[in-house]
Amino acid sequence: MSDSSRSFSHPMGSGQIDAVADFMAALAEIWGKGMSAWQTMTGTALYPDLDRSSTPGADPLGAMLGPMASVAASLAAMLPRQMTRSAAAEASREAASQFGDLSPAMAEAGMIAAASTLRYWRTLAEICARHQSGLMQAAVDRATDRSAVSPAECRVLADELRAFLREIGEAATQEARRLQMELEQVGEAVARAATPAKQPPHPDHRRRHRVKE
Amino acid sequence: MNDAFSPDEASRDVIAALGFADEMAVLRRRIAAWVADCDPEMRDALEWQFLGGSKYFRPLTIFACHRSVIPGPIPEPIMTSALVVEFFHNVSLVIDDIVDRSDARRGRATLHTRFGELAALMTSGYIVADGYALLRDDVQAIGLLSELLKRLGVAECMQWRLRRQPLGVEDWRRIAGEDTGSMFEICACLGDRSSRLRRFGGLLGLLYHGCDDVGDVRGAAALGGGGDEDVRDGILTLPAALAIRDPDIAALFCKSEPDQQDLNILAQAFAARLSDAEAELDRIAEQARAEARLFSVNPAPLLALVDQTRRLSVR
C-alpha cells in the first residue's frame, strides 16, 4: 500500500479531530455572532433575556453544534492515547505528515463555511430591511384598526409577505449551492493532492489478454 | 443557406452581440435540411412554421450556457439539443396560437389559420416525435426535454385555470416560472450539462416572460406586438398583476365578459404600471447576473444574454 493510502486508513486521525473540533467551535461562535448581528440590524431581539447557553433548543444551530463540538473534542482527547497504545508509531507519524499537507484545505474549508454563514446572515438582514417597513406598517395598521384593512389591501399585503418568504428561501438555497460548489472545489484540490504522481505501469500489471475481435 | 430560415432583424443584433453567428448559421442549416428531408405531406406546414423567422433565444441560451462553463467550439450533442429545443419551442407556439385563437404571429398567418387545426396539431406531434428521434443517443437531453414538455403542459393549464382572478406578482412569478421559466431552465441545463446554471436559466426565462408582457403593453414589435388576447382572456401578465392591486381595476379584470370600454380601461391601467413592472424586471435581471457571476467559469456570455433579454421590453 502506498503512503498516501495509509494516511487515510484510519477514519479520523488526531489532527483531523482537532481540526473538526475547532471547526465546530468556530461555526457555533459564528452562529452566535450572526444571530446577534441580525438582531442588531433588524432591531429585533428574537430571544430577549434568554441565556442561550443554559436554554437548550432556544438556538437550534447552536444547540446542534455545541454537542458536536464537545464530541469532537472528546474524541480528540481520547484518540492520541489509542494511537500511542498502538504499535504503528511510524505509520502514525507518516499519517500526521500526510495530514499536514491537507490541513490548509481544512482551514480553507473552514474559512469558506464561515464566510458562507456570515454572507447568509447579511443577506437575511438585507431582505428584512427591504421588506420590514411595508410589513411592519401593515401590522401596525391592522393592530390599531382591524376593520380598516380592505380585502384589496389584504391581497397586496399577502403578496408582499409571499415575496418576503420567497426571498428568504431563495437566499438559503443560493447560499447552500454556493457553499456546496466552493467546498467541491476544495474537495477536488484535496483529491488531486492525495493522488500520487503518475508512475509508469509495472510490467506485472500489463494487460496480457487480447481484445476480442 | 435558405434565407427563409434566417433570424429576424432584432435577433441578428443579439446573435452578433453574443458572438454566435457561426453556430447560428449551422443551426439554421440543420433546420432547413430537416424540413427538406421530412415527409412531403408535412413539408408545407413545416416550411410555413419555420419560415416565419425566429429570435432563436433558446438555442442562444444553450450556446451561451455551454460557453460559460466550457470554452471552445460547440460540440455536436449541444448543437442537436439546440435544434430540438427550437423544434419544441415552435410546438409550444402552435399550441398557444390555437388556444389563444391567434390569427397572426410575427406578421403572418398562424399555422392553424393557414392549414387548419388538425394539420397544426398533427404537425406538432410530428415535430415532437422526430425531435426525440434526433436525441436517441443523448439520454440526458431526453430526460430534460421530457421534463420541459410536462412542465409546459402544467403551466398552460395553470395559467388558463387562474385567468380572471385577482392574483398578485408572486402568482405571476409562479406561472411565468413554469411557462417560459421552465423552457430557459432546461436550455441552461442542456448547455451546461451539470444543472449548475439551472437557476440562472429560470431567472432568464422569468425575465424574458416579463419583458414579453411589458413589450406587449407597449406594442413592441420585437416580441410580435399585440397582447390584446391576454387582456381579453384575463391572463395574469406582470403589468396586470401590478395594476389589479387597485380594487376597481381588479373588478374589471375579473369580469367574465368585458366590453371594449372595459378592455380600454384595463389597457390604460396596465400601461400606468409599466415603470413598476420595469423595476421588477430590473430586480430579476440583477438576480440573473448574480447567478451568472457565482456559478459559471466565464460569465461574459451570460451577462450579455441578460442584457439583450432585458432590452426586449423597450424595443
Instruction: Please state the domain extents for chain A.
Output: 3-195
Residues A45-78 as b or e (16 or more Cβ within 10 Å = b): eeeeeeebeeeeeebeebeebbebbeebbebbee
Q: What is the pLDDT of residue A45?
A: 46
CA distance B211 to B204: 10
Give the CA count within 13 Å in the CB-facing half-sphere of B89: 24
For chain A, the C-alpha Rg in angstroms (whole number) is 26
B chain contacts of residue A162, beta-carbon cutoff 8 Å: 168, 170
Contact A178 B166 (CB under 8 A): no
B chain contacts of residue A158, beta-carbon cutoff 8 Å: 168
* Total domains in the fold of chain B: 1
Q: What is the pLDDT of residue A38?
A: 57
Point out the least confidently predicted range of A139-143, A162-166, B40-44, B59-63: A139-143
Contact A174 B199 (CB under 8 A): yes
| Mean pLDDT in residue range A6-11 | 40
CATH number, position B236 = 1.10.600.10
Continuous segment of H or E residues that includes residue A72: helix A60-85
Q: What is the pLDDT of residue A49?
A: 43
Q: What is the pLDDT of residue A83?
A: 44
CA distance B5 to B50: 7
State how far residue B182 is from chain A, nearest Cα, in angstroms.
Answer: 17
Predicted structure pTM score? 0.77
Q: What is the pLDDT of residue B5?
A: 61
A112–B contact, CB cutoff 8 A: no
Contact A177 B199 (CB under 8 A): yes
A4 has pLDDT over 70: no
Of A152, A177, A181, nearest to B245 by CB-CB distance is A152
A chain contacts of residue B196, beta-carbon cutoff 8 Å: 181
> Which range of residues forms the domain containing residue B166?
3-313
- From the candidates B170, B199, B286, which should be mutated to test the interface with A, based on the most A CB atoms within 10 A? B170
Question: With contact defined as beta carbons under 8 Å apart, do A153 and B245 qualify?
Answer: no
Count CB pairs under 8 A between chains A and B.
Answer: 33
| ipTM value for the complex | 0.86
State how far residue A57 is from chain B, nearest Cα, in angstroms.
Answer: 33
| Residues 6+ away with beta carbon under 8 Å from B34 | B83, B130
Chain Cα centroid distance, residue B237: 14
Of A10 and B64, the one with more pLDDT:
B64
Phi, psi of B104 (to 5 degrees): -135, 150
* Helix segments in chain B, DSSP class H: 9-18, 21-37, 40-51, 57-69, 76-100, 111-115, 117-134, 139-161, 169-178, 180-192, 198-218, 228-233, 238-243, 247-253, 260-272, 274-295, 300-310
Q: Pick the closest to residue B57 from B76, B80, B85, B78 (CA basis).
A: B85
Of A146 and B56, the one with more pLDDT:
B56
B154–A contact, CB cutoff 8 A: no
B chain contacts of residue A174, beta-carbon cutoff 8 Å: 199, 291, 294
Q: pLDDT of A37-92, one tens digit each?
A: 656 655 554 444 434 444 444 454 555 445 545 544 554 454 444 444 454 556 55
Contact B295 A158 (CB under 8 A): no
Chain B residue with minimal CA distance to A152? B247
Pick out chain B residues at pLDDT < 70.
1-10, 220-227, 315
B3–A contact, CB cutoff 8 A: no
Mean pLDDT score of chain A, rounded to an integer? Answer: 68
Q: What is the pLDDT of residue A57?
A: 44
State how far residue A199 is from chain B, nearest Cα, in angstroms.
Answer: 29
pLDDT over 90, % of chain A: 26
Q: What is the pLDDT of residue A70?
A: 55
B196–A contact, CB cutoff 8 A: yes
Q: Pick the closest to residue B153 from B164, B141, B165, B145 (CA basis).
A: B145
- Which residue in the block uniquely carries the three cell numbers 387548419? B116
- From the candidates B203, B206, B253, B294, which should be mutated to test the interface with A, based on the most A CB atoms within 10 A? B294
Point out the least confidently predicted range of A154-168, A189-203, B198-212: A189-203
Chain B residue with minimal CA distance to A154? B245
Q: Which of 146-175 (A) contact B at CB < 8 A?
A: 150-152, 155-156, 158-159, 162-163, 166, 174
B105–A contact, CB cutoff 8 A: no
Q: What is the pLDDT of residue A81?
A: 46
A177–B contact, CB cutoff 8 A: yes
